[in-house]
Structure 1
Amino acid sequence: MAETGQLHSGSSPEDDTSTPPLPISFNFKVPKKEINMVPDMGKWKRSQAYADYMGFILTLNEAVKGKKLTCEYSVSETVEKLLSLLDTLDRWIDETPPVDQPSRFGNKAYRSWFAKLEQKAEALVSAVIPPEFSAAVPEIAAYLKEAVGNPTRIDYGTGHEAAFAAFLCCLCKIGALRVEDQLAILFKIFDRYLKVMRKLQKTYRMEPAGSQGVWGLDDFQFLPFIWGSSQLVDHSTLEPRHFVEEKIVNEHHQDYMFLDCIKFINEMKTGPFAEHSNQLWNISAVPTWSKVNQGLIRMYKAECLEKFPVIQHFKFGSLLSIQPAHP
């Protein structure tokens, strides 16, 4: 995440600090869908967008290794502005209560909430980024609108989560977020985003998008399990087998994103953990957090980034380009 954020797959924070910022030359444009048929998936996997997106995920994965949510880190003005944006989305939920309706899931009040975001997304984004990048606002705002669920189906899933990661990645690429913001990006911004999404899911009884039932990792999220498992790498006492113990989860969830996700699952689901969260139960048998982390990255690529039903909705512009990646 150098000033342009020219991330490459597998780049690490060390790489970023050692490379001088490159001159910024983006012809900003409103992102659009490019993956219309299954054969188009090859274009996505070869694209600069895929390389930059995975580079962003892996850079943050490295940055948070062995660190608690409660550790000390710098909080920049841009981070504060992003938190304020998420507070606004949260407040709109309070201002848009669920309506009485016959069907239990997919409360239609969500559409009113979403309409407000659609109308104000560009204003929210322009309040976050430096004025010299105002031309990027329509492009970056498109990812924010994609990041909160679908108003037609009233559902939310890993594709929407990916749009939020893409939104943050774009802010890094224009230099609004910098290398020194890495911990705050996850521990402040992404953590706050998760809490707002959980509130949306609970308030409007949103359906999981493309849920694989108990065979999926989680009904709604994936990334906090990757980054959360990295936080726990080489922990002196907590091992993967411990996260199925409610007492351990309750004691440590404020320090570790992974355990906070487990706590939320425990609150939302009843019955034996092995039945309602089979994949996670299987992960608890992996001997080390390092192996869990590596396995989750492979699983994320296979189950999310290489699945047409997820990626068909992804949008491409100048910051996350469908053009083939630079060699």
Structure 2
Amino acid sequence: MAEAEQQADEAADARTFVIPRKEISMVPDMGKWKRSQAYSDYMGFILTLNESVKGKKLTCQYQVSEAVEKLLDLLGTLDRWISETPPVDQPSRFGNKAFRTWFSRLEQEAEVLVSAVLPVDKNAAAPEIAVYLKESVGNPTRIDYGTGHEAAFAAFLCCLCKVGVLGVADQLAIVFKVFNRYLQVMRKLQKTYRMEPAGSQGVWGLDDFQFLPFIWGSSQFIDHPTLEPRHFIDEKVVNEHHQDYMFLDCIKFINEMKTGPFAEHSNQLWNISAVPSWSKVNQGLIKMYRAECLEKFPVIQHFKFGSLLSIQPVKP
């Protein structure tokens, strides 16, 4: 009897998960997104993490749970696959087609990789959550990567919180360990396969590929006794402190990838260096993220909605 009840519970549990799909197909659909439970949950997740990393260094002490270790293993696997899939010779300089080979491997293995992170009783969620992992690494047709893909990875982590795999005690590790490792893997992808920036605004965008590490990275600096926003354009400061601060690590990567004066190739960031305080930078970046990423149809048309991140309106 108890066994039958358990099976019924499991069946009910399995039925609650759905494969996420696109729901935003036209510009007027954006209203649905802004009113949705998904938007509320996603933004709440970003802001909660923003608060948790405030004033803390990447190198500070924090708990690393078994779930976090498993996520690091998953990202380590993706990293290893890049090394096993070298770029191919081709006439065009950008968008190396070997990325498609790498991506098809992820497509085949994503559910297995996610299942390894989930406890057995949560395995029914794997097909739903795996979709966000596949969406988080770039587009295999265009061989590009942008803030929409980054948002899919944040959505992937948010879903893991919603099913109880990650908890409040994991918040620092989510940003400092997992997201940071994800950034390393994405940079390796971008460099190895020379991926195009998706929907880049060129010099007028914040960064060709990422946005979230600038938000969380600026929060790390709030109330810092000596480092002010004007310091991040000083290469000496960047080299000295990039291992402690996500923001500076992003600046270091930009400096490695781009040539010429910083004010010319990264004008938006250059402007931010004139803001008087890190808390103002942080608030401004959150506002900019909403406006330039989450409220832009070209980005959100690709976002997928399931049972965990639902298109249904927020419950009053």
Q: Please, what TM-score do these two structures have when normalized by structure 1?
A: 0.92
Which position in structure 2 is the counterpart of 1:206? 195
User: Residue 319 of structure 1 aligns to which amino acid in structure 2?
Assistant: L
Cα shift at 1:37? 0.1
Aligned counterpart in structure 1 of residue 304 of structure 2, from 315, 319, 323 = 315
Which position in structure 2 is the counterpart of 1:79? 68
Identity %: 84
User: Residue 241 of structure 2 aligns to which amino acid in structure 1?
Assistant: H
Which position in structure 2 is the counterpart of 1:278? 267
Deviating above 2 A after TM superposition, structure 1's stretches of 4 or more consecutive aligned residues are none
Which position in structure 2 is the counterpart of 1:10? none
Which position in structure 2 is the counterpart of 1:20? none
Is the contact between residue 226 and residue 296 of structure 1 (CA under 8 Å) also seen in structure 2? yes
Structure 1 residues 241-272: Cα deviation after superposition (integer angstroms, max 9, x where no partner): 00000000000000000000000000000000
What does 1:223-242 align with in structure 2 at a 5 Å threshold? 223-242=212-231
Which position in structure 2 is the counterpart of 1:195? 184
Cα shift at 1:26? 7.9
Q: Which runs of 5 or more structure 1 residues have no equivalent in the other structure?
A: 1-23
Which position in structure 2 is the counterpart of 1:267? 256
Q: 1:135 to 1:225 in 2, by over 3 A?
A: same
Structure 1 residues 287-306: Cα deviation after superposition (integer angstroms, max 9, x where no partner): 00000000000000000000
Q: Which runs of 5 or more structure 2 residues have no equivalent in the other structure?
A: 1-12
Question: How much is the aligned-residue C-alpha RMSD, in angstroms?
Answer: 0.9
What does 1:244-259 align with in structure 2 at a 5 Å threshold? 244-259=233-248
Cα shift at 1:25? 10
Is the contact between residue 43 and residue 322 of structure 1 (CA under 8 Å) also seen in structure 2? yes
Matched, 1:138 2:127: yes
> Counterpart of 1:138 in 2: which secondary structure?
helix
Which position in structure 1 is the counterpart of 2:48? 59
Q: 1:25 to 1:241 in 2, by over 3 A?
A: farther
Cα shift at 1:326? 1.5
User: Residue 112 of structure 2 aligns to which amino acid in structure 1?
Assistant: A
Matched, 1:102 2:56: no
Which position in structure 1 is the counterpart of 2:277? 288
Which position in structure 2 is the counterpart of 1:8? none
User: Residue 164 of structure 1 aligns to which amino acid in structure 2?
Assistant: F
Q: 1:306 to 1:80 in 2, by over 3 A?
A: same
Give the structure with higher Rg (CA): 2
- The count of residues paired between Structure 1 and Structure 2 equals 304
User: Residue 90 of structure 1 aligns to which amino acid in structure 2?
Assistant: D
Larger helix proportion, structure 1 or 2?
2
Q: Please, what TM-score do these two structures have when normalized by structure 2?
A: 0.95
